Amino acid sequence: MTQRADQTRPGDGPARAYDGPGASSAVRGINPRITAQISYSIDSTIPGEWHLRIIRSAIPAGRVTGFQTALLDDDVIFLTADDVSDLNTFGCQIADQVVLTREPKFVGDAIAAVVAPTARDARVAASLVEVDYEAVPSVFGEMDAIAPGAQLVHAKHYTSESDSAYFDMRPQDGTNVCHRFRIRTPALQGRDEPEVVPHLDDPDDALADAFADADVIVDEVFHTPAAAHVPMEPHATNAQWVDGRLEVTTGTQTPFNMRQDLAHIFGLAAEDVRVVVPFMGGAFGAKTFIRTEAITALAARKAGRPVRCVLDRDEVFNEVTRHPSTVRIKLGAKRDGTFVAKRIWAYVNTGAYADCGPGVAQKMGYAGVGPYRFDHVAVDSYCIYTNLPPGGAFRGYGAMQSIWAAERVVDMMADKLGIDAVELRRQNLLHEGDTFCTGEVMHDARFEELLDDAAAAVGWEKDGDRRGKGVVVILKGMQTPSKAEARIELLPDGRYEVQAATADIGQGAGEMLTRLAAEYLKVEVDQVVVCAPDTDRVPYDTRTTSSRSTHMMSRALADAARDLQVHGTIGHGYVSNDGGLDPDTGQGIASSHWHQGSASAELEVDDETGIISLSTLYACSYAGKVINKHGAELQNEGSMILGLGTALFEELQYTEGQMTNPNLSDYNIASALDVASIRHRVMEVPGGEVHGLGETAVPPVPPAIGNAVATFGYDVRDLPMTPERVLAARLGDTFQSPTGEDPQ
Amino acid sequence: MNLTLNVNGRAVDVDAEPHDMLVDVLRDQVGLTGPRVTCGVGLCGTCTVLLDGEPVSGCILMAPLAQGKEITTIEGLPEDDEVVASFDRNHAFQCGYCIPGMVLTARDMIDKGHACSREEIREGLGGNLCRCGCYLKIIEAVEEAAQ
Ligand code: FES
Ligand code: FES
């Protein structure tokens, strides 16, 4: 056997993805990810570093009244809220967080920390600290938290200066609603309406005339639970202060937001913070904005030495989740199937802190409208504080929750009207030049091809027997507004180095950048290397989220290559997509281009057990032009597999706010045993634009399965569609969630 | 306690507590990064190593129990290993975090003749989780390597 162990010792100094100039090509030779010849964040170390453990609240709401630390060794450093008094609050869209809190707002909130010479010492020390609390009443469900008179999670509302707060917030004073987003198409604007609609049976009198032309109305409520990202690599951060400058090596999808937020927290200039991003062992949204970085930096400052923080698996589960949501949809149509109006109320449970919940609420709002024409659309999306762990970005970004409801409702409407469910969709699809509910005109619309493709995949015949079959078509936005910058530098050895902040979360960013640069520069791929995202070396990028990187970075790189050809050794490229929506009317530019997709399912349901057996699960996602065929396929397959878990078994459970399944034996994710039915297509068109694909196939999967299940008479409203829920849906029972908290 | 472990054909002396898990000793003391902890409870397979050729979960195996056995990690597979090459050809990875465990598990399945059909491959990989969801290409890679 060949001996290679020596090459993989943890390196000295911060690890660097791709290892900068001189690194091997991202696309030639055996890929080093297979043979563990790359360093992830967790593999990075700084010589002499100590180890951090966070002490977390055991109560969902209240005050810390004291700590007993008598048993701690003398060399252990103990940090509490007293150590953060000179630090600023933070939060990517609402600055509602402190680095260590006296007033915990969820079970798991960081209230103190210990730093010790070894990881084991730190673990022991953390277990020796006793905490005294004074509890206050708490609230967990989104509908409970929006109810009049609900316990307030935060005594007041905050704002944020961060770049990530890219739209105006509409906090509702005296309530747990930290942001309200609305869409009102022109005829519905300027009405006298309640500020907050807290009840799922609200008659909606102010806008009832929107449905005047509808012969049939379907008005139903759906629920999705909290879910876990489960990046295989936990959050891992190393921090040190070098001559007053903060250096953080961490797995993050948002290196420039991280730099800005850390600078703000510690009162530094942005240039005095350096964020280096090694490879990540998966993220799916879990590694966005401040996670372990601020506390590790604080500990390094107090310890006067480098500090490392790696989360345990149960901490990863509690660090950030997917927003539990309740979505009510009211759809009105004429007897001939023409859609007239749509009304959506989305209640988004953002947990104890807003994080990017306001943005998620906004996307949930318009994704639920779907790729259809309406005379009138009105949407209310409420981002609601509760005493659960914070919800954050999650592959699918809010779209999944409302599409689960919206596409089930389209099938219900088809049943009521006696119209074929695919034909009903076709009849109402948005086409090129049609106007979306935000006022923007659709371009590059591919919905009909996508719908036909998904229908064909399950042998759908117009007005044929559709038992066991479901078809869904969706649209989803991309981060707008955003900016991307890239630099290409000609190295002395004649190769080209791409400098870009797109983080490699496993989606193949290195390969994508390499292939694109080679194409634009008209050189071989092995003449291109890509440097690690390091805020000292690469230009600004909004962030690696919302499947925006391929689309935005491809244009920035093309620009940089052109610039290089003109200017010699360094080329700069810059693109921005402008837009944004008015928070009160939802008018404006939701997305500079649309992610478009479809899915279909064919399945059986066992009447005895409620078990769903898929024979086909299919998704088709519009890619326009594909840069890296395998990468595109992997993204599409991975999205479907995540969607499958969401549909059938993924659910975080809580008892009195305490997560009861924060481990991989009680929280199941899909394995190789679950994928036999999966087929898919990445749709290209000649001359198409480059479209991102990172999550398009997540949202359509649950309703495709749900619609197929419903053909057998099981009307499941709450995800996941576990066997118990399927059986309960047949009996018409309302399913009590295992948490004992009513899911709606 | 002092232990001598045979790792990838090399004898390595380490100093470990009796209850230290093999994966932690391999990472922290031997300096290998191929074995990785994800679940820590024997369910996900990212900590898989071969012990005398048998795949085991290093996160639930106490290091002293590995004494006297030949431990193989991904770093110990030959450069031209057919399973590694097949994963590469089939682009059977995204973030790569689960892949060393997948490769070692597949190596064992193929050696034992337990990778003869897709069905069998899916069964064999059932204890190796991949959150990126690369299963389709991983199954193809194993199928190809088995031929
Ligand atoms: S970490 Fe050992 S099986 Fe998951
Ligand atoms: S490739 Fe990322 S977990 Fe498998």
Q: Are residues B70 and B7 located together in one domain of the fold?
A: yes
In the prediction, which pLDDT does B134 show? Answer: 97
In the prediction, which pLDDT does A735 show? Answer: 46
Q: Give the pLDDT mean for A332-341.
A: 98
**Given a cut of 60, is residue A742 above it in pLDDT?**
no
Best mutation site among A34, A40, A229, A232 for ligand 2 pocket (most ligand atoms within 8 Å of CB): A232
**Given a cut of 60, is residue B44 above it in pLDDT?**
yes
Q: Give the pLDDT mean for A516-528.
A: 90
**Bigger pLDDT: A626 vs B90:** B90
Q: Test B85 with A1 for CB contact under 8 angstroms.
A: no
Q: The pTM is what?
A: 0.93
Partner residue opposite A670 with nearest CB, options B38, B133, B138: B133
- Regarding the beta carbon of B39 and ligand 1, being less than 6 Å apart is answered yes
- What is the distance between the alpha carbons of residues A411 and A466, in angstroms, rounded to a whole number? 12
- What is the distance between the alpha carbons of residues A296 and A589, in angstroms, rounded to a whole number? 38
**Bigger pLDDT: A397 vs A717:** A717
In the prediction, which pLDDT does A332 show? Answer: 98
Determine which of A4-13, A47-56, A689-698, B52-61 has the lowest per-residue pLDDT on average.
Answer: A4-13
pLDDT category of residue A21 using cuts at 50, 70 and 90: very low
Question: Is A662 touching B (CB cutoff 8 A)?
Answer: no
Place of tokens 């453990």: A53
Q: In chain A, which segments carry CATH 3.30.365.10?
A: 325-479+585-731, 482-540+554-578
pLDDT category of residue A545 using cuts at 50, 70 and 90: low
Q: Are residues B86 and B69 located together in one domain of the fold?
A: no
**Which is the closest atom of ligand 1 to the Cα of A664?**
4
pLDDT category of residue A261 using cuts at 50, 70 and 90: very high
Q: How far is A5 from chain B (nearest CA, A)?
A: 6
Smallest CA separation from ligand 2 atom 4, residue:
B130
Answer whether CATH 3.40.50.2000 is correct for domain A482-540+554-578.
no
Place of tokens 């170390």: A45
**Taking CA atoms, what residue in B is nearest to A643?**
B133
Q: Is A645 helix (H, G, I), strand (E, B) or coil?
A: helix
Of all ligands present, the nearest one to the C-alpha of A642 is 2
Q: How far is B1 from chain A (nearest CA, A)?
A: 16
In the prediction, which pLDDT does A591 show? Answer: 78
Last residue of a domain, one of B28, B53, B74: B74
In the prediction, which pLDDT does A698 show? Answer: 97
In the prediction, which pLDDT does A341 show? Answer: 98
**Given a cut of 50, is residue A6 above it in pLDDT?**
no
Tell me the chain A residues in contact with residue B10 when contact means C-beta distances shorter than 8 Å: 3, 5
- Regarding the beta carbon of B134 and ligand 2, being less than 6 Å apart is answered yes
Tell me the chain B residues in contact with residue A661 when contact means C-beta distances shorter than 8 Å: none
Q: Selecting from 3.40.50.300, 3.30.300.30, 3.30.420.40, 3.90.1170.50, what CATH number does the domain A43-136+234-279+286-319 have?
A: 3.90.1170.50
Determine which of A38-52, A580-594, A730-744, B38-52 has the lowest per-residue pLDDT on average.
Answer: A730-744
- Regarding the beta carbon of B130 and ligand 2, being less than 6 Å apart is answered yes
Q: Edge-to-edge strand order for the sheet containing A595-605?
A: A469-476, A595-605, A612-624, A678-684
Phi, psi of A649 (to 5 degrees): -145, -10
Question: Please, are residues A118 and B17 in contact by the beta-carbon 8 Å criterion?
Answer: no
Tell me the chain A residues in contact with residue B131 when contact means C-beta distances shorter than 8 Å: 229-232, 282, 284, 669
Q: Are residues B69 and B101 located together in one domain of the fold?
A: no
When computed from its CA atoms, the radius of gyration of chain B, rounded to whole angstroms, is 15
- What is the distance between the alpha carbons of residues A529 and A511, in angstroms, rounded to a whole number? 10
Q: Give the pLDDT mean for A42-58.
A: 97
Tell me the chain B residues in contact with residue A35 when contact means C-beta distances shorter than 8 Å: 34, 74-75, 77, 84, 100
Q: Test A232 with B98 for CB contact under 8 angstroms.
A: yes
Convert the pLDDT of each residue in A634-667 to its tens digit. 999 999 999 999 999 999 999 999 999 999 999 9
In the prediction, which pLDDT does A10 show? Answer: 32
pLDDT category of residue A570 using cuts at 50, 70 and 90: confident
Convert the pLDDT of each residue in B72-107 to its tens digit. 999 999 989 999 999 999 999 999 999 999 999 999
Which CATH number characterizes residue B41's domain?
3.10.20.30
**Given a cut of 60, is residue A248 above it in pLDDT?**
yes
Of A27, A226, A56, nearest to A654 by C-alpha is: A226
**Given a cut of 70, is residue B129 above it in pLDDT?**
yes
Question: Is A560 touching B (CB cutoff 8 A)?
Answer: no
**Given a cut of 90, is residue A677 above it in pLDDT?**
yes
Work out whether the CA dihedral A578, A581, A582, A583 comes out positive or negative.
negative
Tell me the chain B residues in contact with residue A6 when contact means C-beta distances shorter than 8 Å: 31
Q: What is the DSSP letter of B120?
A: H
Question: Please, are residues A184 and A707 in contact by the beta-carbon 8 Å criterion?
Answer: no
* Residue A218, beta-bridge partner list: A331
In the prediction, which pLDDT does A16 show? Answer: 33
pLDDT category of residue A743 using cuts at 50, 70 and 90: very low
- B14 CA from centroid of ligand 1 (Å): 22
Per the structure, how many domains does chain B have? Answer: 2
pLDDT category of residue A118 using cuts at 50, 70 and 90: very high
**Which architecture, in CATH terms, is A325-479+585-731?**
2-Layer Sandwich (3.30)
Q: Are residues B45 and B62 located together in one domain of the fold?
A: yes
Question: Is A278 touching B (CB cutoff 8 A)?
Answer: no
Contacts of residue A608, Cβ cutoff 8 Å, sequence gap at least 6: none
Tell me the chain B residues in contact with residue A315 when contact means C-beta distances shorter than 8 Å: none
- Regarding the beta carbon of B105 and ligand 1, being less than 6 Å apart is answered no
Question: Is A353 touching B (CB cutoff 8 A)?
Answer: no
Convert the pLDDT of each residue in A679-723 to its tens digit. 999 999 988 877 878 889 999 999 999 999 999 999 999 999 999
Q: Give the pLDDT mean for A370-384.
A: 98
Length of chain B: 147
In the prediction, which pLDDT does B65 show? Answer: 96
Question: Please, are residues A711 and A624 in contact by the beta-carbon 8 Å criterion?
Answer: no
Q: How far is A390 from chain B (nearest CA, A)?
A: 21
Distance of CA A423 to the CA centre of its chain: 32
In the prediction, which pLDDT does A505 show? Answer: 64
Phi, psi of A349 (to 5 degrees): -85, 100
Q: Are residues B132 and B101 located together in one domain of the fold?
A: yes
Q: How far is A486 from chain B (nearest CA, A)?
A: 23
Q: Where are the beta strands (DSSP E) in A278-338?
A: 307-310, 325-333
**Given a cut of 90, is residue A480 above it in pLDDT?**
no
Question: Is A651 touching B (CB cutoff 8 A)?
Answer: no
Mean confidence (pLDDT) of chain A:
90
Q: Test A671 with B129 for CB contact under 8 angstroms.
A: yes
Q: Give the pLDDT mean for B39-67.
A: 97
Partner residue opposite A634 with nearest CB, options B9, B134, B139: B134
Residue span of the structural domain in which B8 resides: 2-74
Q: Are residues B99 and B47 located together in one domain of the fold?
A: no
Q: Give the pLDDT mean for A86-114.
A: 96
Determine which of A210-214, A253-257, A424-428 has the lowest per-residue pLDDT on average.
Answer: A253-257
Q: Give the pLDDT mean for A420-438.
A: 96
Phi, psi of B44 (to 5 degrees): -110, -20
Convert the pLDDT of each residue in A219-235 to its tens digit. 999 999 999 999 999 99
Q: Are residues B64 and B94 located together in one domain of the fold?
A: no
In the prediction, which pLDDT does A26 show? Answer: 56
Question: Is A47 touching B (CB cutoff 8 A)?
Answer: no
- What is the distance between the alpha carbons of residues A9 and B61, in angstroms, rounded to a whole number? 22
- What is the distance between the alpha carbons of residues A533 and A2, in angstroms, rounded to a whole number? 32
Determine which of A368-372, A480-484, A640-644 has the lowest per-residue pLDDT on average.
Answer: A480-484
Last residue of a domain, one of B74, B94, B110: B74
Question: Is B126 touching A (CB cutoff 8 A)?
Answer: yes
**Given a cut of 70, is residue A739 above it in pLDDT?**
no
Q: How far is B117 from chain A (nearest CA, A)?
A: 12
Question: Is B67 touching A (CB cutoff 8 A)?
Answer: no
- Regarding the beta carbon of B5 and ligand 1, being less than 6 Å apart is answered no
**Given a cut of 50, is residue A622 above it in pLDDT?**
yes
H/E stretch holding B12 reads strand B10-15
Q: At what angle do helices A421-428 and A399-417 cross, to 10 degrees?
A: 110
pLDDT category of residue A102 using cuts at 50, 70 and 90: very high
Length of chain A: 744
**Which is the closest atom of ligand 2 to the Cα of B95?**
2
Determine which of A13-22, A265-274, A368-377, B62-71 has the lowest per-residue pLDDT on average.
Answer: A13-22
Tell me the chain A residues in contact with residue B97 when contact means C-beta distances shorter than 8 Å: 40, 232-233, 281-282, 506
Partner residue opposite A282 with nearest CB, options B33, B85, B97: B97
Q: Give the pLDDT mean for B12-25.
A: 96
Q: Are residues B69 and B99 located together in one domain of the fold?
A: no
**Given a cut of 70, is residue A740 above it in pLDDT?**
no
* Residue A470, beta-bridge partner list: A601
Q: Are residues B86 and B125 located together in one domain of the fold?
A: yes
Q: Which amino acid is at A3?
A: Q
Tokens of A435: 């106007």
Question: Please, are residues A385 and A155 in contact by the beta-carbon 8 Å criterion?
Answer: no
Q: Give the pLDDT mean for A105-126.
A: 97
In the prediction, which pLDDT does A738 show? Answer: 42
**Bigger pLDDT: A444 vs A334:** A334
Q: What percent of chain A has a predicted confidence (pLDDT) above 90?
A: 74
Give the CA distances from residue A450 to residues A460, A558, A681, in Å, rounded to whole numbers and listed in that order: 14, 29, 10
In the prediction, which pLDDT does B36 show? Answer: 98
**Taking CA atoms, what residue in A is nearest to B89?**
A30
